[in-house]
Structure 1
């Protein structure tokens, strides 16, 4: 099969370290965390001490100043182990990235070192009950009141919401300006007026806390604004390709993993006098999935390269996100079928992978939004040709 040439020796040495950490500190406890609906804060501190959080943050802000592939290694090893509970992706790839890219020097020095250490946990407050993919439709308001902003509103489906110590919050500072009225703020977890609702029960990803958040006359000083007033939507758009790439990395990894699980299971499961793997239907199903997984991996790795070169455009990211997440869900479904009744038992990793998979076609922009992005580019290309 096609070899992955992205990673150098130092990345693979780091991978072995991360894999040992996951096997020791996460896998034995993950089933209990799924019952609890949350991962303990102690894990974040251990991951920080291991150098697994915010790998790309520069040394002057407490980080290691490594390249993006070190973050990719962490994400891949978590998902390969079926460890969907630790919300390291949101913390590292989104919140820290927003602060590093758009934050003031004071904000970077205040928030990033504690995020690198795991002392502070990051979360992204964008989705609202009536605004998901259409972020310009949010209603959480930030109104100037003297030398402060008074914030009222609600967010929902917020990963790391129960644990977060720093929240990148999307608000409307001008309700009549559409996308140009969106402003981002950094909110400390203990800020008066910031209230956490219940930990939501989800179809999958049971160990990752996901919350409603409420803001009742919460006051923020201007220095908590992230970027410029009215520029929040534009800032969010610049990071969507990175978010969608992360979804593609996850889905490509999980698709490969569930196929491996299924090959191992079917080779040891007997049916009608021979292994289930030796049945032609099993071979054809797994061969088709393997070919699709190889294609998804090649596409995803190419997008990683483009991202690291600063050349990953929104359309390529949308293509990768759409194809890999659809494969992710299909692979989990078809592989579970080959496990038979055991595949329906929660104790089996394939059952949990099946439940965890479905969110990938929604998070980071739904499949339908990806199709719109791709189709619009097709129309633009056609007009150019015509």
Structure 2
């Protein structure tokens, strides 16, 4: 089998993707265009999704802690179905960040007390965790937050933007560098901590995502706020965050690509050009073939990388980076092909092509663009990391 982790060929993944697609199509899609126009996040909508799709808010949290207990491949399928049915990349990104990026590091490196306190509430959706996408690129970016030791904990200073979930988060996962060059440390910082301020800072893309910024000015946190080993984030939390981001934030885009391809197929079947069915034109057929190929190749890379989590480890940096790099490029290719076939208005009434074009450009640069991903892949090929 060429792509052993392709959904529909491994047990429950295909069923999970389809069930989530149907749910999101019914619950999320009807208001996607309006929420995008108004730049609004609807907490009631997210709660309805979480109630109707058990495991959506904590798929990778063990069942003993109230989570869905899904595999990584199954979680990718759920997020793919969400992207395809909701047709709302902003909401899907928020779901992916909460479901994977802020829960899995806590599961992997949190103390038993940290896990008992936070994971059950995060898995139920009662508590939301937040994270800056700037902090999913490891050493590729200069640190924006510093940490100084204090007698009874640590003092954090700095600022972060592109914080997914900031307006509603119960706590924030923050990686801070030590000014003396002794490494980096990850922290779980509760909302309301003195010296922490949540700011209203939003990009122009992915408008339905609950964006925000953080300002830390003498923010004091206790010793038990440390996630993982002190000074050890560069080898623990940060590599895991990068792999999680590259894989799970890409999964909804596979769904968006499939939605665009399905819309294009329906349009080609039903439209006429020069009094001939559009499906009779070779150029239309070739464009559909290219869109389908992009979807299948993206699925193969993505599910191969996701499946590597399920052996108790994490994907190779090469496989995770390759999946993200390909999905980002394929998303732009599919959007442009869909626009060429159907026009930017797309005939569906929900403006998916226009939104996806804007958001795909942003997705391709944030959280690890080609300038980050290609060197990672090359270094792995050369045996340098």
Q: Which range, TM-score by smaller chain? A: 0.7 to 0.9
| Alpha-carbon separation, structure 2, partners of 1:380 and 1:57 | 33
| Alpha-carbon separation, structure 2, partners of 1:284 and 1:205 | 30
5 Å-filtered alignment, 1:159-170, equals 159-170=164-175
How many angstroms does 1:135 deviate by?
A: 5.1
Partner deviation per Cα, 1:164-221 (whole Å, 9 max, x = no partner): 112101112x2131xx42111101122232211124141x311012222111222211
| 2:338 is equivalent to residue 335 of structure 1 | yes
Greater CA drift, 113-122 or 138-147: 138-147
| Alpha-carbon separation, structure 2, partners of 1:248 and 1:211 | 21
5 Å-filtered alignment, 1:269-348, equals 269-309=271-311, 310=313, 312-340=315-343, 342-343=345-346, 347-348=350-351
| Alpha-carbon separation, structure 1, partners of 2:176 and 2:314 | 29
| 2:117 is equivalent to residue 91 of structure 1 | no
1:267 match: 269
Q: Which residue, out of 186, 189, 208, partners 1:187?
A: 189
1:209 match: 210
| 2:138 is equivalent to residue 106 of structure 1 | no
Greater CA drift, 230-239 or 66-75: 66-75
Partner deviation per Cα, 1:316-354 (whole Å, 9 max, x = no partner): 222222222211111111211222353499842222222
Q: Which residue, out of 62, 66, 91, partners 1:62?
A: 66
How many angstroms does 1:84 deviate by?
A: 1.9
2:257 match: 255
What SS class does the counterpart of residue 199 from structure 2 fall into? strand
Greater CA drift, 341-350 or 358-367: 341-350
**How many residue pairs get matched?**
374
Which sections of structure 2, spanning at least 5 residues, go unmatched? Answer: none
How many angstroms does 1:311 deviate by?
A: 6.2
Larger RCO (alpha carbons 8 Å, 6+ apart): 2
| Alpha-carbon separation, structure 1, partners of 2:128 and 2:28 | 17
| 2:225 is equivalent to residue 224 of structure 1 | yes
1:120 match: 127
Is residue 335–residue 356 contact of structure 2 (8 Å, CA) maintained in 1?
yes
Greater CA drift, 67-76 or 13-22: 13-22
Greater CA drift, 105-114 or 341-350: 341-350
What SS class does the counterpart of residue 235 from structure 2 fall into? helix
| 2:146 is equivalent to residue 141 of structure 1 | yes
How many angstroms does 1:6 deviate by?
A: 4.5
1:358 match: 361
Cα separation, partners in 2 of 1:319 and 1:125, compared to 1, 3 Å? closer
| Alpha-carbon separation, structure 1, partners of 2:220 and 2:300 | 48
Is residue 46–residue 118 contact of structure 1 (8 Å, CA) maintained in 2?
no
Partner deviation per Cα, 1:229-255 (whole Å, 9 max, x = no partner): 111122211342232122443343332
Cα separation, partners in 2 of 1:56 and 1:311, compared to 1, 3 Å? closer
1:384 match: none
Partner deviation per Cα, 1:349-386 (whole Å, 9 max, x = no partner): 222222221233223311122111222233349xxxxx
Greater CA drift, 50-59 or 65-74: 65-74
How many angstroms does 1:15 deviate by?
A: 4.4
Is residue 17–residue 80 contact of structure 2 (8 Å, CA) maintained in 1?
no
1:244 match: 246
| Alpha-carbon separation, structure 2, partners of 1:70 and 1:297 | 13
1:154 match: 159
What SS class does the counterpart of residue 262 from structure 1 fall into? helix
2:75 match: 71
| 2:180 is equivalent to residue 176 of structure 1 | yes
Cα separation, partners in 2 of 1:149 and 1:27, compared to 1, 3 Å? same
Is residue 48–residue 117 contact of structure 1 (8 Å, CA) maintained in 2?
yes
Cα separation, partners in 2 of 1:55 and 1:38, compared to 1, 3 Å? same
Partner deviation per Cα, 1:241-293 (whole Å, 9 max, x = no partner): 23212244334333232122112122222221113332222222222232233
| Alpha-carbon separation, structure 2, partners of 1:247 and 1:88 | 9
What SS class does the counterpart of residue 213 from structure 2 fall into? strand
Cα separation, partners in 2 of 1:186 and 1:4, compared to 1, 3 Å? closer
Cα separation, partners in 2 of 1:214 and 1:335, compared to 1, 3 Å? same
Cα separation, partners in 2 of 1:291 and 1:140, compared to 1, 3 Å? closer
Which sections of structure 1, spanning at least 5 residues, go unmatched? Answer: 382-386
Is residue 294–residue 334 contact of structure 2 (8 Å, CA) maintained in 1?
no
